[in-house]
Amino acid sequence: MTQNVNKNITIELFNLDIGVYVYTLLLNHSSGDIIQDIITIIIEDTVAPTINFSSDISYPAGSANQTIIYTLYDLRPHIYNVTLNGSTYVSTTSWENGILMLNIDILNAGVYILIIQVYDLSFNMIYDEVIITVFDPNKTSEITETTEPTNTSETPPPPSIPPTPFNIQDASLTVVVTIFVGGLVAGMLSQRRKVKLVIKE
């Protein structure tokens, strides 16, 4: 309780975890009159983990030490999973900040789509998709040996350009902008604000 307050009141909030907090301020006049103000503070984590995105990969079947290396970070790391062509490749597993290595040298020849999904404790998610091409070096060499040389003396016709869906010169273009402000940083209150503009013809 503070007495003889006749100025601005500042209350500093530190180390608040995710959740909802209700603060009640009571002001008691010497005459006995009481006034109160109730403030509800919602602290939420709206920021997804960070991940370095991998390039697509191609390698000959049977080669060893083929891996995808990810660097993951979040204030509150939780779980991740990996699918390969829609099937489970790595089941749901907890993760910590730092390096995550995925071994992919056990694959047979073919084309695969690998997707990793990474979650934090608030289930904000980020993902990465990698196309993996595993080729048979023997079949590749056979194709190369039997391929006939092509005649390069003639200039190929220029590729056709598909028509545009509308007249670009006459169209009014407005850029789409999305702004995110804030995030969970050391227990501070987060905000999210979006501004959207659309493309009109």
**CATH topology classification for 50-144:** Immunoglobulin-like (2.60.40)
pLDDT of residue 157: 55
Residue 38 is encoded by which pair of tokens?
Answer: 């109730």
Report the range of poorest mean pLDDT among 41-50, 82-91, 153-162. 153-162
Parse the chain into domains and list their residue ranges: 50-144
Per-residue pLDDT of 61-108, as tens digits, reads 988 899 999 999 999 999 999 999 999 999 999 999 999 999 998 899
Report the range of poorest mean pLDDT among 108-122, 138-152, 179-193. 179-193
Per-residue pLDDT of 11-25, as tens digits, reads 888 888 889 999 898
Q: CA nearest 95: which of 77, 83, 115?
A: 77
Report the range of poorest mean pLDDT among 90-94, 161-165, 196-200. 196-200
106 within 8 A of 126, measured Cβ to Cβ:
no
pLDDT of residue 143: 41
Most trustworthy range by pLDDT among 7-11, 12-16, 36-40, 160-164 = 36-40
Enumerate the β-bridge partners of residue 111. Answer: 133
Predicted TM-score of the model (pTM): 0.60
